[in-house]
Amino acid sequence: MTVPTAPLVAGCRPLTGKDYRTLALAALGGALEFYDFIIFVFFANAIGQLFFPPALPDWLRTLQTFGIFAAGYVVRPLGGIVMAHFGDLLGRKRMFTLSILLMSLPTLAIGLLPTYADIGLAAPLLLLAMRVLQGAAVGGEVPGAWVFVSEHVPAHHTGYACGVLTAGLTVGILLGSLVATALNTLWQPAQVLAGAWRWPFLLGGVFGLAAMVLRRWLHETPVFAELAQRKALAAEMPLKSVLRSHRAAVAVSMLLTWMLSAGIVVVILMTPALLQKIYHIDARTTLQANTLATIGLALGCIVYGVLADRAGPRPVLFIGALLLALCTYGFYTTLRTQPALLLPLYGLTGFFVGVVGAVPSVLVQAFPPQVRFSGLSFSYNVSYAIFGGLTPVAVTLMLKNDPLAPAWYVIAVCAVGMLTALFVRKAPD
């Protein structure tokens, strides 16, 4: 069988049925893996009550529970760097398949773990270990998925492919929200504590293993296959090459990831709680609005990805960041006087957050194929660990002085994104 070459992938051929199947399987796996990663937060209260001593104060139990949740973010860079290293040397497909296995098994295990009442202090320690494995897995999954799909499709469809995959990750967040809502609707709080909380984890683990089996039908990317055939893989440790020869690409990628994390963390993840606290909107309404915003985000990722293919990433990122800044300001200021407009405004704002769907195609093209996985993974995971972790703290501190703090933060980071867009470059093949 003839191995497809990189020039073929970079050509102007249209997307084929095989391309769409690759995108579908990658997006499905990404959605299920992201569901596995975030479902923990939807059951944090139940987990806190079951895995820590009952005599602990509520605030300390909550702090420790979210500390375990945050551990998944802390190890993302390490997991991403290790998996990217082998992805650049051994193949994208192997790491792409391994990442979903490393996510599925710990998720399944969490659903089977004995609680503090059963084994004492070992319960939270085992929970922490499973969360660390999940973090390592997602650190390799997201960059690996972007690299995998971008190297399968023609170059002029890179934005669309990365946008679709990013939309799939967004669907994973939505799926977690819907499953949590359904479970809390079907069971009373006492029943959830009695064992119903386990079902979302068991379901996620089984679905993840099924997605891993489906991924076995995928083929190695033509770009990597051609590099291996020509014996043109990285001659040294890929990350060493990235840090020595591609520092500008790392800087641009990290700053754009900051904008990505700000849009997701502030507008999608933090805003529901802020709506209840600042504007005193009930939880049910904020959940409905957040669902609409998440759907808007998924659609926006695809639209902005297509626009990046057609108009180029620089103008799309520049204008998209400007629109997100303006819409975020309008969203928070309008709700003060017209809270009835919450649903349409939040849905529209979620759509404009979709500019983050154009970011992955820039990150993918910022590094040459030999070190692409390592360069993208290092930049994305380190930036997300720093800014994704500090954003909630920064916004919370700013809220002490100004209720519009979330808007000002997003506007400031969008300004950084607009400036960074001017320095976007494509690495030579």
CA proximity to 351, closest of 387, 416, 302, 306: 302
**How many angstroms separate the CA atoms of 112 and 103, rounded?**
15
Query: Helix (H, G, I), strand (E, B), or coil: what is residue 110?
Result: helix
pLDDT in tens, 297-338: 999 999 999 999 999 999 999 999 999 999 999 999 998 889
CA distance 404 to 130: 37
**DSSP, res 115:** -
Rounded CA gap, 19 and 292, in Å?
29
pLDDT digits (tens, 9 = 90+) for 11-59: 567 777 777 888 887 888 788 877 887 788 778 778 888 998 888 887 7
Identify the structural domains of the chain with CATH numbers, from first to last.
Answer: 18-233 (1.20.1250.20), 236-429 (1.20.1250.20)
Q: Does the pTM exceed 0.85? A: no
Q: What is the pLDDT of residues 365-403, one digit of tens each?
A: 999 988 888 899 899 999 988 887 788 878 888 888 888
- DSSP letter for each residue of 208-265: HHHHHHHHTT----HHHHHHHHTT-S-SS-HHHHHHHH-HHHHHHHHHHHHHHHHIII
Task: Tell me the C-alpha distance between 22 and 16, whole Å.
Answer: 10
